[in-house]
Structure 1
Amino acid sequence: MIYILTQNYPSEKDKYAMSYVHSRNLIYQEQKLEFTVVSMVAVENYYFEGIKVITKNNFLALIKADKLSMKDIIVSHAPNLKNHITLINKIYFKVKKVIVFFHGHEVLKTSDYYPKNYKFNKESYVKLILRDLYDEVKLKIMKQFIEKLTRADKLTIICVSNWMKKHASLCLGIDFKKVEYKIINNNANQVFVNSHYHLDDESLADFVTVRPLDVSKYAIDLVVKFAISNPEFKFHVYGKGEYFNYNKLPKNMKVINEFISQKDFPALLNKYRCCLMPTRLDAQGVMVCEMATYGIPVITSKLEVCEEMLGDFTNVYLAEEDFFSKNTDRDFINQLSSVHDSFNKFSIENTVLKEVNLLKDLQKK
């Protein structure tokens, strides 16, 4: 059995929760892997789109009953101290292998990487100090955890980008030449791979942005700046938050607070000329990779990781931050081609099937 540990998981009440884990699990299911998801915040066992999800307490009961064996594999996504590492330390010697996915915050020092919160969401000085202290403990324990499981020949680390590996190494003080690791990007949902962008005759607006509004790393303030600098364009923003309770909404911008299922996303994108997706930090940026794969013109930020992921997509423009304060014209958008050779970069063959093959190989040993 494969046990997949996550802090949260999609449910009927929250369909967005760690959806990048669910996306790959659907492929695992198609590939006939036998697995169970362990959600640390679930209060009862449930199924979501055919995926079995159990609670942390239920998993602890399995451990207590000594139900784990050397045939079992533990997969941990974005492991934290409170749940994942505590659990894995209890059982790593009882199972065949532990596969840890590094997605971002779990191996980064927050104050060195994450932008400051928006003013209306500002954290207290005491909270910032406590966060830095926690990060010191987090990184120290994570390093010890990696070294211990490596000595026991129990660990494989999967980083979702070379950028993630580089900065995990810097923050943890780990030489990745001395650990077993792989670079495997998150996959794009099949709906973005199997179809291709075409602009509807009647578009809803020029630009579309899909972002949490209150998280400063997703830079809704840059979208606002761009809208103000380009009053001749119309902008639609899909997202939730309080940002516009404290900041003025431009006249040419509309905020739409509604859930969009992935299967409906391509049809929605066809109603817009360009995706406007600035960012201040990403380990990969799954959603923008999906948009680029689909073929719609995309504007995102010129970050190292964005260049790694999207530098070879001719429908993607990597913008410096000052770009969002400038006026542009429709010709600029038209010049972004939707014809390129990178559509398969985030296909399941190049991403999640590598994980499937790793798991199947381990099960054969």
Structure 2
Amino acid sequence: MVKAQVLVLVQGYPDEHNRYNMAYVHSRLLGYQQAGFNVTVLSFSASIDYVFEDISVVTEKSWLKHTSHKTLLIAHAPNLRNHMRFLLLYGHRFSHWFFFFHGHEVLEKRLYYPEPYAYMPQAHTLYQTLDRAYDKAKLRILRRLISRWLQQKRLHLIFVSEWMLNAFVENVQLSRNEIMPFSQVIPNAVHPAFLQKQWRADGPFQADVITIRPLDNSKYAIDQVLGFAHQFPELSFHVFGKGKYFIHHPPPPNLIWEDAFLKPEDIVRKLKNYRAALMPTRLDAQGVMMCELASAGIPVITSDLPICREMLKDFHRVYFLNGQNKPLPEIIEQLCQLPPPSKQPFDADNLIAAEVQLLLSVIN
């Protein structure tokens, strides 16, 4: 029995050419369908209609031609150009709306994002000025629209972390009292592969440290990984990630870089070969990869940021780098002696069940 018709708005969606484009949305929707919801995805980037792993994906043009009544509307990382425009034009056709906030869509980016690496193309001053003006206008418009829709009691807000909720309040400038009756924190789930086999501390190991990061985005702090490799030549580091950082900053002999994108199943197979995962960050709304590695049981060394402490509070094998650190070999040795996860806060079954319960609460 179909519980409700659901339309999901996304900027992009997985297809056979890019199976990882907003994959965290796709995993949710498979769970919704299993729970009895009839789900259709409207991808603003799609040029044709298609079906991906039993999920129907349509273009906006196609949806307008063949529109049918949908009870619920879900928008992931809603932007002004597409999601908000769509809601202003067609939102009246839906009884309830759900916004999932994942990051930059509700941030004044210049206040959060670190400076890019020097070798990266630098935006023209005019572009930077226009981008900052757009951010300010974006937040003003979001404040007015969301406030109006909350007063109408048709909008529900879902944040991937308490940090994301607090950043929303600070940037959009709506009071917590105004949004809390209609808000919920539900983090992104980890890929199921990370829960199927736990890391073991008894080896054998190919190297001491694994890092999995996009190299060219400075928020992922690959420069700090390089710094540790120079500081501790007695340790061996393996870095997996696409980018040009090590072309501009050649690594020492104890750091081996593989210019590759790893699928979740590949990552899980590799983890047994390393004693710890070094995953520094300068900015995250959740840090899904960090959560996945911790869930698999491997010791995780990351940055001492509020979001990292929030996400990893239930894990034992974690060390937060704060500038006054013990030597890295000592950190790794101590983490390996600690117990594995006693619970799995990012299990997809539990988190998707929480989202399904939220959807059901507005239609029952």
Same fold (TM over 0.5): yes
1:166 to 1:342, Cα distance in 2 relative to 1, 3 A = farther
| 2:101 aligned partner, one-letter code | F
Determine if contact 2:314/2:343 at 8 Å carries over to the other structure: no
Kept in 1, the 8 Å contact 2:203–2:272? The answer is no
Per the alignment, residue 61 of structure 1 pairs with 65
Q: 1:229-244 residue pairs with structure 2 within 5 A?
A: 229-244=231-246
Q: 2:54 aligns with which of 50, 56, 61?
A: 50
Q: Which whole-Å CA distance do the structure 2 matches of 1:50 and 1:322 have between them?
A: 50
**Aligned residue number for residue 147 of structure 1:** 147
User: Paired residue for 1:190, among 189, 192, 212?
Assistant: 192
User: For residues 339-354 of structure 1, what are the structure 2 equivalents within 5 Å?
Assistant: 339-340=339-340, 342-354=342-354
User: 1:131: Cα distance to partner?
Assistant: 1.3
Retained in 1: the 8 A contact 2:221–2:280? Answer: yes
The residue number in structure 1 matching 2:355 is 355
Superposition deviation, residue 51 in structure 1: 2.5
Residue of structure 2 equivalent to 1:158: 158
Match of 2:84 in 1: 85
Letter in 1 for 2:141: I
Deviations 1:295-351 (A, max 9, x none): 10001111011111113311111111565xx8532x421211452555321123542
Match of 1:133 in 2: 133
Q: 1:5 touches 1:77 (CA, 8 Å); kept in 2? A: yes
Sort the Cα spacing of 1:154 and 1:187 in 2 relative to 1 into closer, same or farther, 3 A.
Answer: same
In structure 2, give the amino acid aligned to 1:276.
L
Match of 1:181 in 2: 183
Distance 2:125 2:315 in 1: 42
Distance 2:52 2:265 in 1: 16
- State the one-letter code of the partner of 2:110: S
Does residue 14 of structure 1 match 2:13?
Answer: no
Distance 1:266 1:223, change over 3 A: same
Q: Is residue 191–residue 266 contact of structure 1 (8 Å, CA) maintained in 2? A: yes
Residue equivalent to 1:203? 205
Percent identity (aligned): 39
**Where does residue 253 of structure 2 map in the other structure?**
251
Give 1:37's match in structure 2, choosing from 41, 45, 70: 41
**Deviation sequence 1:125-158 (CA, Å, 0-9, x none):** 2222111101011101111120121122210000
Instruction: Tell which deviates more after alignment, 201-210 or 149-158.
Output: 201-210
Quote how far apart the aligned CAs of 1:16 are.
2.6
Is contact 1:227-1:253 (8 Å) kept? yes
Residues in 1 aligned to 2:30 and 2:201: alpha-carbon distance in whole angstroms: 29
CA distance, structure 2, for counterparts of residue 74 and residue 234 of structure 1: 49
Equivalent residue of 1:58, what SS?
A: helix
1:262 positional shift: 2.0
How far is 1:108 from its partner?
Answer: 0.6
Check the 8 A contact 1:163/1:283 in 2, yes or no: yes
Deviates more, 1:253-262 or 1:82-91: 253-262
Cα pair 2:277 2:301 within 8 Å, conserved = yes
Measure, in 2, the Cα distance between the counterparts of 1:5 and 1:32. 19
Partner of 2:115: 116
What's the offset of the Cα at 1:23?
2.6
CA distance in 2, matches of 1:40, 1:115: 29
Query: Aligned residue for 2:301?
Result: 299
Gaps (5+ residues) in structure 2?
A: none
Contact 2:295 2:341 (C-alpha < 8 Å) held by counterparts: no
Task: Give 1:72 shift.
Answer: 1.9
Q: Contact between 1:293 and 1:342, CA under 8 Å: does it hold in 2?
A: no
CA deviation map 1:48-67 (0-9, x unaligned): 333322223323434xxxx3
User: How many pairs are equivalent?
Assistant: 356
- Give deviations 1:221-249, integer Å, cap 9, x for gaps: 11111111111222121111122232222
Question: In the TM superposition, what is the alpha-carbon distance from 1:293 to its structure 2 partner?
Answer: 1.1
Quickly say closer, same or farther: Cα 1:206–1:130, change in 2 above 3 A: same
Q: 1:26 to 1:206 in 2, by over 3 A?
A: farther
**Structure-1-length-normalised TM-score:** 0.91
Match of 1:218 in 2: 220
Asked if the contact 1:234–1:253 (Cα under 8 Å) also holds between the matched residues in 2, the reply is yes
Q: 1:218 to 1:321 in 2, by over 3 A?
A: farther
> Residue 129 of structure 2: SS of its match in structure 1?
helix
Q: Indicate whether 1:24 and 2:23 are aligned.
A: no
TM-score (norm 2): 0.91
What amino acid is the match of 1:159? F
Distance, in Å, in 2 between the alignment partners of 1:338 and 1:47 is 45
3-state SS in 2 of match to 1:182: strand
